Amino acid sequence: MAEDKLPSRSENFAEWYNQLVLKAELADYAPVRGCMVVRPYGWTLWENMQAGLDRRFKETGHVNAAFPTLIPLSFFEKEKEHVEGFSPELAVVTHGGGEKLEEPLAVRPTSETIIGYMYSKWIKSWRDLPVLINQWGSVLRWELRTKLFLRTAEFYWQEGHTAHVSSEEALEETYRMLDVYADFAINDVAIPVIKGVKSETEKFAGAQMSTSIEAMMGDKRALQAGTSHFFGQNFAKAFEIQYLDQNNTLQYCHTTSWGLSTRMIGAMIMVHGDDQGLVMPPKLAPIQAVIVPIFKTDEEKQNVMQVADKVFTELKSAGIRIKLDDREEVTPGFKYNDWEMRGVPLRIEVGPRDVEKGSVALARRDILGREGKTFVPQAGLAQAVSQLLSEIQDALLKRATEFRDSNIHDPKDYEEFKQVVTDGWAFSWWCGSKECEAKVKEDTKATTRVIPFDQPDGEGQCIVCGEKAEKKVYFARAY
């Protein structure tokens, strides 16, 4: 039951987020520090995200498999940067079956190493390539500052791992999967994202190049919403992933990996939510429309419920994820608030006057109040609802895009830059040096988010040091 009021989103974004996740029953804190429980409403949302991604993975030729949760610690030592990046975050199994293990095992923080090991066994010839495997599961990176969906020790994700004959092919794959992520974010989650390359400082431990999609949250902070890494031959050399080419010569493979996690749920909440609660994009919403019957007398009840049942059956058979809220212990007003808080895109009200008129009222979650309300005939309702859901999906993307674009700035000097990144993003020339990146971070807490593929012509002067700069980059404070 949802009766306590949420904190205001504009006044206390962080608290609004934390309480909303709990109140909407998306997730909960686990008894193990740093871990979360994803509750059915949140998991159904994730299942819908999984379906959207998995379809795209399979359309681009990938298959799923499952690799072990436990990885020998020694595997991490094989790639120098990888071990430096992940060792401090490992959870380590030292005992099994009542005995101390000869070699400790890590709960996987990511699976490049164990998958690399298996690939070295499986791949023999150029005929075995490319290998295009994805895995759905969870990983664990020791982390005590928990923020549900955004930062937890254990989180849910998919990780794709591919091996190729050439650098070109592996690069193509890296970009292809970034495109898949961008397509999913934009068209399913209704979040506009910027595609580009991470700086050396921000890239994945062990990658030659990391690419990412970056999104702006409702508080104007940035969130890395998906990453696709090009490893060159780093992991192939560390794990001896080799193949015989067409001239019978032994060659190292070129590999990639790419991942997208339940962070995307956090992004969805922070981009679309408002003071009333969640706003779910129709394509992902566990419940796309909820029917609320309204009546006072028994006679009204009978008539109203007859129509409500009919509408339910019709919309369900049209493939709409529909719920009929027939609770009698709470008022319609309570139900409105409850489902608004849970972000159901569309409310369908059926009252005695609707029964008379052969109509229903449709109320949009994204436009509250009268402005978002229409009265439509019961006849042909499934089509009207589908149409409206599609409009809502588009409207969410449009609103998020306008919000983002109006909060990206092009400051004229470093003074203005420092101002801008306190409440927005800066898109500025950067010389590429780690020193300038570090200075920005120290001065403003902002980091380089992504060097977009989409660049202006010519060159400019670094916003920090004034030296020649070939690329513009997005700077922002990030989650």
Q: What's the number of CA atoms in the CB half-sphere (13 Å) around residue 354?
A: 27
> What distance in Å separates the CA atoms of residue 293 and residue 300, rounded to the nearest whole number?
10
For residue 45, the minimal CB distance to a copy of itself (Å) is: 11
3-class secondary-structure state, position 446: coil
441-447, long-range: CB < 8 A, 24+ apart: 443/418, 444/417, 444/418, 444/475, 444/477, 445/477, 446/421, 446/475, 446/476, 446/477, 446/478, 447/201, 447/202, 447/475, 447/476, 447/477, 447/478
For residue 250, the minimal CB distance to a copy of itself (Å) is: 18
- The residues pairing with 255 across neighbouring beta strands, listed in sequence order, are 163, 232
Q: Please report where in the chains the tokens 């089509």 appear, as a residue.
A: 383
Residue closer to a copy of itself by CB (options 19, 378) is 19
Residue closer to a copy of itself by CB (options 142, 252) is 142
β-strand pairing of 194-197 with 154-164: unpaired
For residue 34, the minimal CB distance to a copy of itself (Å) is: 8
For residue 341, the minimal CB distance to a copy of itself (Å) is: 17
For residue 418, the minimal CB distance to a copy of itself (Å) is: 33
For residue 68, the minimal CB distance to a copy of itself (Å) is: 4
Residue closer to a copy of itself by CB (options 97, 458) is 97
For residue 102, the minimal CB distance to a copy of itself (Å) is: 9
Residue closer to a copy of itself by CB (options 133, 213) is 133
Specify whether the CB–CB gap between 470 and 432 falls below 8 A: yes
Instruction: Produce one character per residue of 6-29: b if its CB has 16 or more CB atoms within 10 Å, e if not.
Output: bbebeeebeebbebbbebbebbee
Residue closer to a copy of itself by CB (options 215, 322) is 322
For residue 87, the minimal CB distance to a copy of itself (Å) is: 8
- Two tokens at 165? 């004959």
Residue closer to a copy of itself by CB (options 75, 204) is 75
Classify residue 166 by burial, with Cβ atoms within 10 Å: 0-12, 13-18, 19+. Answer: middle
For residue 256, the minimal CB distance to a copy of itself (Å) is: 17
For residue 447, the minimal CB distance to a copy of itself (Å) is: 23
Residue closer to a copy of itself by CB (options 42, 192) is 42
For residue 361, the minimal CB distance to a copy of itself (Å) is: 28
Residue closer to a copy of itself by CB (options 155, 417) is 155
Which residues, including other chains, have CB under 8 Å from residue 6's CB and lie 6 or more apart? 16, 19, 20, 23, 275, 276, 277, 341
> What distance in Å separates the CA atoms of residue 372 and residue 414, rounded to the nearest whole number?
43
Q: Which residues are near a copy of itself by CB under 8 A?
A: 28, 30-32, 35-40, 42-44, 46-47, 63-72, 75, 87-98, 104-105, 107, 114, 117-118, 121-122, 127, 133, 137-138, 140, 142-144, 153-154, 156, 329
Residue closer to a copy of itself by CB (options 96, 380) is 96
β-strand pairing of 346-350 with 289-293: parallel
DSSP state of 309: H
- Two tokens at 328? 């009698």
For residue 64, the minimal CB distance to a copy of itself (Å) is: 5
CA distances from 169 to 164, 255, 426, 431 (A): 6, 9, 34, 30
Residue closer to a copy of itself by CB (options 84, 168) is 84
Residue closer to a copy of itself by CB (options 119, 427) is 119
Residue closer to a copy of itself by CB (options 126, 403) is 126
Specify whether the CB–CB gap between 398 and 406 falls below 8 A: no
What's the one-letter identity of residue 120?
Answer: S
Q: Helix 167-187 crosses helix 40-59 at what angle (to 10 degrees)?
A: 140
CA 328 to chain centre: 37
